[in-house]
C-alpha cells in the first residue's frame, strides 16, 4: 500500500459553484477526498505506459478523488460539513483497476469509514473506497 493525503470536500461543486451533475442529479450529499492533481497526472501517465500508449485517460470532473459518500443523506445532518477542508491520510493499492471505462485504485482508510459511521451511515460504502484517477468513456 502507498500512503497519500487528501482534503475532505462536502457537497463538492463540479464547476465554479455548480452542484448539478450531467445526469441532472445533485452533489448535495456527496463527500469526497480531493487528492493531489499531480498524483492523478502521474497515475494516468503510468496507466498510458502500461497500455503501451494505446489508451489515454481523461481526468475526472473533480480531479483525482475518493468518493466517501455518494448521494446518501446522512441520519445526523448536524455533523455534515464539520470537517470540510480537513486533511486526511489514506493508503492505496499500487495496481490500477478498471470498471466501465473508469480507472481506480483500491483505498484503505479507517478515518473515512469512521466519518460514515459518525453521520449514521453504513461503515462500508458500496462500491468500496477507491481512488478515481480518470476515465476513457468520453475520449474518442
Per-residue three-class SS string for the chain? CEEEEEEEEECCCCECCECECCCCCECCCEEEEEECHHHHHHHHHHHHHHCCCCCCCECCCCCCEEEEEECCCCCCHHHCCCCCCCEEEEEECCCCEEECCEEEEEEECHHHHHHHHHCCCCCCCCCCCEEEEEECCCCC
Q: Is the pLDDT of residue 33 over 50?
A: yes
pTM (predicted TM-score): 0.85
Residue owning grid cell 487528501? 6
Q: What is the per-residue pLDDT for 21?
A: 52
Residue 124 vs residue 24, higher pLDDT: 124
Q: What is the per-residue pLDDT for 51?
A: 76
Query: Across residues 80-108, what is the average pLDDT?
Result: 95
Residue 139 vs residue 128, higher pLDDT: 128
Residue 134 vs residue 24, higher pLDDT: 134
Q: What is the per-residue pLDDT for 74?
A: 94
Q: What is the per-residue pLDDT for 53?
A: 74
Query: In the chain, pLDDT over 70 holds for what percent of residues?
Result: 88
Q: Is the pLDDT of residue 93 over 70?
A: yes
Dist CA 100 CA 81 (whole Å): 31
Q: Is 30 helix (H, G, I), strand (E, B) or coil?
A: strand
The helix (H) or strand (E) run that includes residue 39 is helix 37-50
Q: How far is CA 132 from the centre of its chain?
A: 5
At 25, the pLDDT band (50, 70, 90 cuts) reads low
Find out whether 92 and 43 touch, Cβ atoms under 8 Å: no
Q: Is 29 exposed, middle or buried (0-12, 13-18, 19+ CB in 10 A)?
A: middle
Amino acid at each position: 500500500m502507498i500512503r497519500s493525503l487528501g482534503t475532505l470536500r462536502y457537497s463538492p461543486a463540479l464547476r465554479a459553484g455548480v452542484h448539478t451533475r450531467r445526469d441532472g442529479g445533485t452533489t448535495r450529499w456527496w463527500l469526497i477526498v480531493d487528492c493531489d492533481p499531480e498524483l492523478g497526472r502521474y497515475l494516468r501517465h503510468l496507466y498510458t505506459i502500461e497500455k503501451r500508449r494505446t489508451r489515454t485517460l481523461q481526468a475526472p470532473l473533480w480531479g483525482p478523488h475518493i468518493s466517501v459518500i455518494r448521494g446518501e443523506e446522512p441520519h445526523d445532518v448536524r455533523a455534515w460539513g464539520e470537517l470540510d477542508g480537513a486533511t486526511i491520510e489514506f493508503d492505496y493499492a499500487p495496481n490500477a483497476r478498471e470498471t466501465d471505462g473508469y480507472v481506480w485504485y483500491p483505498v484503505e482508510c479507517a478515518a473515512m469509514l469512521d466519518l460514515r459511521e459518525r453521520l449514521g451511515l453504513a461503515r462500508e460504502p458500496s462500491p468500496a473506497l477507491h481512488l478515481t484517477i480518470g476515465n476513457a468513456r468520453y475520449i474518442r
